[in-house]
Amino acid sequence: MVFDIFFSRFSSRMASLAGQPFTFFLAIMIVLVWGLSGPIFNWSDTWQLVINTGTTIVTFLMVFLIQNAQNRDASAMQVKLDELIRAVEAAQDEYIGIEHLTDVQISRIRDALEGNTKQAGDHLAQRQIELSRLIERR
């Protein structure tokens, strides 16, 4: 439990840092320094192994950190959507929890919903035209 909390916080922070412009700049600088050091090390196999090993290790670890952060974000989003379904009286409660279904089952539900949407397509198209006109007036 304590490890889960620590790992969640750590992975969120690391995923956030990994997506910053400074981190990208730092990575470019490391590659440039490595590249410029090539002549010093006579372009040796060891010199090449340093960058290969370093990037492999960083990539391997970042996959787990970023995946953990994405899983938590997706779960939080699902909970929020479930709450919206519960809050809207006209919403169909049977859609709560469908993320646990198989891909085939979800595809069938999506196809059925898209079929219902096509029936209302003319109304939707008319509404989009009205919205476009309103936006153009601004």
- Give residue-wise pLDDT tens across range 34-51: 999 999 999 999 999 999
Residue 94: is its pLDDT beyond 90?
no
pLDDT grade for 126, boundaries at 50, 70 and 90: low
* Cβ-Cβ contacts under 8 Å for 50 (sequence gap 6 or more): 34
pLDDT grade for 117, boundaries at 50, 70 and 90: low
CB atoms within 10 A of CB 123: 9
Average per-residue pLDDT for the chain? 87
Question: The tokens of 101 are what?
Answer: 């279904």
Instruction: Tell me which of 64 and 122 has the higher pLDDT.
Output: 64
Helices (H), 37-120: 45-87, 103-119
- Give residue-wise pLDDT tens across range 71-92: 999 999 999 999 999 999 888 8
